[in-house]
Amino acid sequence: MRNGIEGIDELLRDRLLIMANDRSANDVLSHVPLRTGGLVLTGADAPARCREIRNAQPGMVVAVDYGSHTREIASVDAPFGLATSHGWRALGLADLNEILDGQRDNKVSFAVTPTCFIPPDETGDASVFKAVIGQTNQLDREDTIVLLPCSYRWLRGVSLHHLVKGIRACRHPVALIMQADEDPLKRSHVPEGLRQLCRSCPRLVLWRTDLAAFDAMAHGALGAAVGASAVLRFGVAPRPDNGGGGRKPYTVVLVRRLLRYLRVATLQDWFAHVDPWTCGCAVCDGAPLTRFIDSDIDVCAALQHTVRELYALHYELDATLPGHERIDWWRQKLVDSWEHHRLLASQTDTELEFPKVLQAWRRQSPLPLPSAEQPRGQDQSGPS
């Protein structure tokens, strides 16, 4: 990696990271390619696990997400913080530097700011968001990515303009988390807003996401981090009880030809009377996608299958040139997905709705927002 700010950009460019709990790291590690992949780990032991991975595989890209955004709401005076064994610790600039140094001491490939959750901008002045950018711009570092865990409302209206302006002004790459009670891309105007953001901010990384990673990178995002589990595929607002939980999640697999994550139980229902679809990835080796049950072994295998399929899709994206060629590739994948939905409905005699998110991605892309230095009449759109 080259020295300087350009170095971290080149490290992240077109890279697909898998975000997983520290307990799942070893389950997916062997399925992550060194050249184009990497891991972002969550959980109390994430820093130590990063160090262990780098000791064993020095070329593997690893980073941590402390999850501060799931615990506290950011304020102008305290946009960063960390949960410790002694309670919550708000971080000033010197403390923030210390935490980022600690990450690098654990051999992470790049440091990630422990940013608290940035709520919707009710005042219209984007003061909390500006505090995050302003403080991180004071960091004399070239190894850091600024985490922006935002409400989905930042992707709409005037808030989007604030977001673009702030990200452009940030001297570090920015990792955006979109928060909503369910898939944020189901909210009106959010898919278009995200595309406009990606096309306007080339140093943006989409974080804690799903297949939106591919739409984002097709439209100019620097890279992305896809969650290995459903809870890591979108942002969550802080809750007093820190989320509760305890219920065992359903077994879910990525069906690449449909561009969808689906419960295995749903696939079993669809294919109850016909031969199920099979998968040729290294984990499945031609076995049916319906074979997974809720045993620990099958849950692990389903996760490994999904990681393999994500990187198979990413391999195709990485083989395209950014711009027209990449967008055309993604549009064709969406056309193929539509056809596979029709085929599946016919084979299984099932009524299948083409998901609203995929419908949104088939629409034309909005233009990027003009930069302050560029007259509005000048074209900076690239492919539409």
Here the tokens at position 302 are 């389903």
Q: Is the pLDDT of residue 258 over 60?
A: yes
List, in order, residues 6 or more apart from 152 with CB less than 8 Å away. 178, 179, 180, 184, 187, 190
DSSP string, 55-87: HH-TT--EEE---GGGT-B--SS--BEEEETTE
Give the residues across from 89 on adjacent strands. Answer: 82
pLDDT (tens digit, 9 = 90+) per residue, 39-55? 999 999 999 999 999 99
In angstroms, the CA 92 to CA 83 distance is 14
The fold of the 5-232 domain, in CATH, is TIM Barrel (3.20.20)
Mean pLDDT of 286-314: 96
Element (DSSP H or E) covering residue 266: helix 264-270
Other beta carbons within 10 Å of 254: 25
The lowest-confidence range among 78-87, 172-181, 253-262, 366-375 is 366-375
- pLDDT band of residue 123 (cuts 50, 70, 90) is confident
In angstroms, the CA 348 to CA 335 distance is 20
DSSP string, 28-54: HHTTS-TTT--EEEESTTHHHHHHHHH
Mean pLDDT of 163-189: 95
Q: What average pLDDT is seen over the chain? A: 92
Share of the chain above pLDDT 70, in %: 92
Mean pLDDT of 258-282: 97
pLDDT for 5 equals 43
Delimit the domains of the chain by residue range. Answer: 5-232, 252-361
pLDDT for 247 equals 56
Q: What is the CA radius of gyration of the chain?
A: 20
Q: Is the pLDDT of residue 1 over 50?
A: no
pLDDT for 145 equals 98
Share of the chain above pLDDT 90, in %: 86
pLDDT for 241 equals 58
Q: Is the pLDDT of residue 377 over 50?
A: no
Residue that the structure tokens 């001491």 belong to: 105
Residue that the structure tokens 């591919």 belong to: 214
Query: Is-contact 145 172, C-beta < 8 A?
Result: yes
- pLDDT band of residue 243 (cuts 50, 70, 90) is very low
